[in-house]
Structure 1
């Protein structure tokens, strides 16, 4: 694979089509969770791909039978007590979102198994999002006592409406790929056996289309997301303020210790 991708250790690359770069999330952690290296790499890859003249479409997928269970909570808990780690993680979270939005090439995602947090962000920020009907999705921020920052406020209300966005973000309830398609959070939900082939077909079709027209259409449509940028920036800041708060620390500790959280009494906002 090209030298520009040689530095990546948590992402695998191959070409299912000469103009399609398939990026596979290859995590050493359980359920494809993103360790610190993967989180950094997925925040940086979009500029490298955008600058690669041999790539006309990106296909993002997970390794094996899962996509990604999101960030490594052990690392995030360290960030609760370490300002530098917390700010670095926040910058990377911002770069994932804006990187996918501003990448000029169309992005297709193919998700099987679990996609949570940052993993779910990568699925639904794609231009075409494909998942197996029995995939499992969740935005779990409220489970660990922090605000749903990340990608949620910039795109959920636009895709599925405010009522569904509020329900799933406030409850952190999980749902299937089939349910995600029904509420317009993703483009297509397919039988598991069809996901890989169909995602390659769609990515290849996009790669073979008129490149300027494809990219300009993506750019124009993504202005809907760019105008929500201030909403996203505020929510991301609230999320990372919360990580250092008593609620965030208790929420993460409880999750890691597999117990119910004991949140402090309500405080002024």
Structure 2
């Protein structure tokens, strides 16, 4: 399935979403941002989709905002609309969809592109990738939840420096800083991403969704609130078919067959 600036392929219970404006390094314009939101909504409601892979076509993952759009008197939607109608809804969808989302970072991730990547549940990149908080280099501040996730991933001081200086961070350093999960060799990148997505799509995805909800709320909860939340979600997880199957498979010493219910 194709949606002009976004490509969608569903295979083996995995939705592969590809940013598809390679001629401008997959930078976002309004049509692309709204298309991505619509496709994420479709993936959320599609019961056959149990894991999502977000990647880019060409040399870049995403270079952030298409600056030609914001400098065009005819096309410029203005920063209020860009943030409130484009990027903020993308970030909230990524975090609120109760399915694992893998950020498969295939090339440079800059500006909003870097922060969309960091909002994913599991972020992998090949060894040639770099991440850039490019906002300050043109007189802006990090958006797309960059000021929220980055200090929580790598610490306040390092996040402050990267946001202010706009340093280019290669993939191996991003892994060392715990900005991303793992670096994968370029020659095996596509195969390894597919294996990871297949593994996650065949896990007890109801539990993965509850893990995601728990982690989201841990960002603002205190200890007592989080303990209460864990109790609530653990009871919910224990009532799933996948929990029953996981226990039975463990006792019977066989591989479990999870169905995401």
Would you say same fold, with TM above 0.5? yes
**Structure 1 gap segments, 5+ residues each:** 228-269
Residues 74/65 of structure 1: CA separation in 2 closer, same or farther (3 Å cut): closer
Are the counterparts in 2 of residues 27 and 35 from structure 1 also a CA contact under 8 Å?
no
> Are 1:69 and 2:78 an aligned pair?
no
Are the counterparts in 2 of residues 121 and 151 from structure 1 also a CA contact under 8 Å?
yes
Rg larger in structure: 2
- Tell me which stretches of 4 or more aligned residues in structure 1 moved more than 3 Å: 224-227
Q: 1:10 aligns with which of 5, 10, 13?
A: 5
Please report how far the alpha carbon of residue 131 of structure 1 lies from its aligned counterpart in structure 2 after TM superposition: 0.3
Q: Which residue of 2 aligns with 1:257?
A: none
Q: What is the CA–CA distance in structure 1 between the aligned matches of 2:216 and 2:188, rounded to whole Å?
A: 28
**Structure 2 gap segments, 5+ residues each:** 222-261
TM-score (norm 1): 0.76
Q: 2:130 aligns with which of 136, 145, 152?
A: 136
Are the counterparts in 2 of residues 23 and 61 from structure 1 also a CA contact under 8 Å?
yes
Please report how far the alpha carbon of residue 196 of structure 1 lies from its aligned counterpart in structure 2 after TM superposition: 1.3
Deviations 1:170-222 (A, max 9, x none): 10111111111010000011211122111111111111111211111111112
Q: What is the CA–CA distance in structure 2 between the aligned matches of 1:89 and 1:107, rounded to whole Å?
A: 23
> Are 1:19 and 2:13 an aligned pair?
yes
Q: What is the CA–CA distance in structure 1 between the aligned matches of 2:24 and 2:183, rounded to whole Å?
A: 24
Q: 2:178 aligns with which of 180, 184, 187?
A: 184
Q: Which residue of 2 aligns with 1:90?
A: 83
> Are 1:224 and 2:213 an aligned pair?
no
Of structures 1 and 2, the one scoring higher in RCO (CA 8 A, sep 6+) is 1
Please report how far the alpha carbon of residue 58 of structure 1 lies from its aligned counterpart in structure 2 after TM superposition: 0.3
Are the counterparts in 2 of residues 44 and 96 from structure 1 also a CA contact under 8 Å?
no
Are the counterparts in 2 of residues 43 and 93 from structure 1 also a CA contact under 8 Å?
no
Please report how far the alpha carbon of residue 28 of structure 1 lies from its aligned counterpart in structure 2 after TM superposition: 5.2
Please report how far the alpha carbon of residue 74 of structure 1 lies from its aligned counterpart in structure 2 after TM superposition: 1.8
Aligned residue pairs total 220
Please identify, of 141-150 and 42-51, the stretch whose mean Cα deviation from structure 2 is larger: 42-51
Q: Please provide the CA RMSD for this pair.
A: 2.1
What secondary structure sits across from 2:192 in the alignment? helix
What secondary structure sits across from 1:64 in the alignment? coil
Q: Which residue of 2 aligns with 1:251?
A: none
Q: What is the CA–CA distance in structure 1 between the aligned matches of 2:72 and 2:59, rounded to whole Å?
A: 29
